C-alpha cells in the first residue's frame, strides 16, 4: 500500500525537488578583473576632473574609495 501524502506534503516535496535541481555550485563566478594600471590611470584622470569641477569624489561610483586607517 502506498503511503498517504497530503497535497501540502506533495507541494513541499516538489518544491524541494526544484531547489535541488536548480542548486548552483557554491563557488561564485569570479568577476572579470581589468588590468589595475589601466583602471588606475583612468580613475586618476576622473578624480582630477571631479576635483577641478568641485564634484565630490564619492559620486564616482565605480571607484572604490576605502578608509584603511
Partner 1 sequence: MFIPYDLTKTEDGYQFTSDFGLTYFLYFSKYYLIDENGDDLIVTSFGFFHDPEKVRVNDQRIKATIISFIIDYFEKNPELGILYLCDPRDDLARHRRIIFGSWHREMDQGIEKFDCNKYHAKLGYYSSLLIKADNPQKQHYVDAFYRHLNELIPEEA
Q: Which residues bind partner 1 (CB under 8 A)?
A: 30, 33, 35-41, 43-44, 47-48, 51, 56-58, 63-69
Q: How far is the CB of 10 from partner 1 (least distance, A)?
A: 45
Q: CA 44 → CA 59, 62, 63, distances in Å?
A: 14, 12, 10
Q: Which is nearer to partner 1, 16 or 40 (CB)?
A: 40
In which residue are the cell numbers 561610483 written? 61
Q: Which is nearer to partner 1, 13 or 48 (CB)?
A: 48
Q: Which is nearer to partner 1, 4 or 65 (CB)?
A: 65
How is residue 6 written as a grid cell? 497530503
Q: How far is the CB of 25 from partner 1 (least distance, A)?
A: 17
Asked if 57 and 47 count as a contact pair (C-beta separation under 8 A), the reply is yes
Asked if 11 and 18 count as a contact pair (C-beta separation under 8 A), the reply is no
Amino acid at each position: 500500500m502506498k503511503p498517504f501524502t497530503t497535497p501540502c506534503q506533495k507541494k513541499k516535496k516538489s518544491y524541494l525537488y526544484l531547489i535541488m535541481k536548480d542548486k548552483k555550485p557554491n563557488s561564485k563566478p569570479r568577476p572579470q578583473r581589468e588590468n589595475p594600471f589601466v583602471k588606475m590611470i583612468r580613475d586618476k584622470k576622473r578624480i582630477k576632473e571631479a576635483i577641478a569641477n568641485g564634484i565630490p569624489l564619492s559620486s564616482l561610483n565605480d571607484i572604490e574609495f576605502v578608509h584603511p586607517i
